[in-house]
Amino acid sequence: MGRIIGIDLGTTNSVVAYMDGNEPRIIVNEEGGRVTPSVVGFSKTGERFVGDVAKRQALINPDCTLHSVKRFIGKRSKEAKDELALVNYKVVEGRNGEVGFDVNGRVYSPPEISAMVLQKLKKSAEDFLGETVTEAIITVPAHFTDRQRQATKDAGTIAGLDVLRIINEPTAAALAFMHERKKSATIAVYDFGGGTFDISIVRVDRDVGEVRATRGDNSLGGNDIDGVIVEWLLQEFMNEHGMDISGERVARQRLLDAAERAKLELSSALETEVHLPFLMADQSGPKHLSRSLKRARFEQMIQPLLDRTIRECEKALADARLRPEDMDEVILVGGSSRIPRVKEMVRDLFRRPLNQSYNPDEVVAIGAAIQGGVLEGEVRSVTLLDVTSLSIGIEVEGRRFAKLIQRNTVIPTQCTRMLSTVIDNQRSVKIHVLQGEGALAAENVSLGDFELSGIEPGPRGAPRVEVKFFIDASGLLSVSAKDLRSGASSNITINSPTSFSKSELEELRDEASTFEKKQLEQGDLKDLRHQVEKVVMALEAMLREKRATLARNELTELEHAVKRGRMSLTKAADRTNLEEVYSWLRRVHGNLKDKLGSRPTVH
């Protein structure tokens, strides 16, 4: 087993970490940063950018810059309507009714885009560690459904990673707490990130932790706070200029960027200025936007969103049958937890000082790395029992939802259900699997359906089919069935409407690998062209400065070298030809430099 990395695949930013002996460490990316923006950008010529470079191009090319993709992963198009106002690119219906992103005429799925971010993190880890990385632990919000967890695992597979475990983000934060603090405690992990919110109540007994309850909202995060500021700025612009610019993509991207900056500044300042010159123009001339936003006004605007997080915390406490005063510590996770009003409300609810010793952007990745260390055998003293955040069951008569595995059940777990036929000589049984808390089937998330065929015929009610539902340590569901009369059994794959088949995953993985190799080759070719240009510029400098001291044949050789070098840079030379030119130019430059260096200087 090679090195296992831990990845926090975030809505806004992503982080990767590893275990250095018994110490978790953050991996620095190619740009020297500890966090990588979860942004993927495309150029018109087919080039792809991930991270900081992609984020910078958003202002000028919003159509081809994808961000906040985590909010869409594992969702059908009809389930993602609330997310559309928070992004500034084309969201369409993709394969099997799932969300898709139309970029330059090609439709990408959320797992494909997430895989591009994971590829970037994987390469950063390989460059940092100096070895090939193939295995990873990836974190997800605790309230992610089975579909969303499977889609995240698919993204890892496409990126060339063997995803050993999917773990909940609050659980990862709790692992980091347990690793450093060898004492018993009951902790609340308040995880308010860029796109999702989770609250987990964890009981830690020195080296063993147990998640007592978890709650959350997959459509509540910093993106929504940005959206509130954007709507305020749009209204202010409308009031001043009488223009509705909500449909102008470039203008809206500038507003999104300004809203994010304002939110960050108001975490440390009581007031911030939003200046957006030349935001729009009409026949009367350019239109500007300049507004002052005070922290008090900002807090008033976002209060309904913050109240939703507190309600989830109260529900989690009720599920765990605990009171706020039963908490020993509260750990803040996620960038949105830095907002002063958030800290104030959490402190008021739990009546405990907040543990701010962890970097809220990094603690989840650190916990994932620790889980990797546990699997590697480097970390032996940490055990954490997680739970399933949503109930799993089946659709029954009357289109009702029958829960088989209740939420907050410790995982891994399994449940057995006895089924039978409803008509005589029925040869198959079809089961619709759902996840959620609603009383009716339509109120829950469909994980798909499966059909057990080949049942021994008989009168209705006679066949006895034993169906087992198993949730593994990653929170992923699998199903097996057995006809007790005939003894026939089979493992059943849930036909999820948003999952990839094995062949599709292999095809996408090969495509991603091929593209990565092509990108590396193009990068190497750019570096080679840069080296050729440096030598040509050195030769040109020699021609200018040493022309009077050069012999006629030397001058001819030098002029020929400069001309050939420039020609190789202006045309699309292949790598072999460019390497030959580079080698020859270096020899010419070296020989002339030696000759000129051996000649006496005339005063």
Among 231, 220, 222, CA closest to 255? 231
Tokens standing for 583? 């080698």
Q: Of 79, 98, 146, 191, which residue is the catalytic one?
A: 191
Name the amino acid, one letter, at 599: R
Question: Quick one: tokens of 228?
Answer: 């509130």
Q: Does residue 271 have an active-site annotation?
A: no
Residue 134's identity, in one-letter code, is: T
List 98, 154, 169, 260, catalytic entry? 169
- Helix and strand totals (H; E) in the chain: 12, 29
Whether 231 is catalytic: no
User: Of residues 55, 70, 153, 287, which has the active-site annotation?
Assistant: 70
3-state SS, residue 28: coil
Query: In Å, what is the CA distance from 200 to each residue of 30, 224, 341, 363, 457?
Result: 34, 21, 20, 15, 48
Neighbour count for residue 358 (Cβ, 10 Å): 18
Confirm whether 378 is a catalytic residue. no
User: Does 70 participate in catalysis according to the annotation?
Assistant: yes
* Count of Cβ atoms closer than 10 Å to residue 37 Cβ: 22
Given the structure tokens 């430099």, which residue do they identify?
A: 593
Is residue 352 within 8 Å of 131, Cβ to Cβ? no
Whole-angstrom Cα distance, residue 316 to residue 177? 20
Give, for 211, the enclosing helix (H) or strand (E).
strand 208-217
Distance from C-alpha of 173 to C-alpha of 193, rounded to nearest angstrom: 13
CA separation for the pair 221, 192 (Å, rounded): 6
**What's 405-473 look like in SS3?**
ECCCCEECEEEEEEECCCCCCCCEEEEEEEECCCCEHHHCEEEEEEEEECCCCCCCCCCCEEEEEEECC
Q: In angstroms, rounded to a whole number, what is the distance separating the alpha carbons of residues 448 and 392?
A: 12
* Catalytic sites, residue numbers: 8, 70, 169, 191
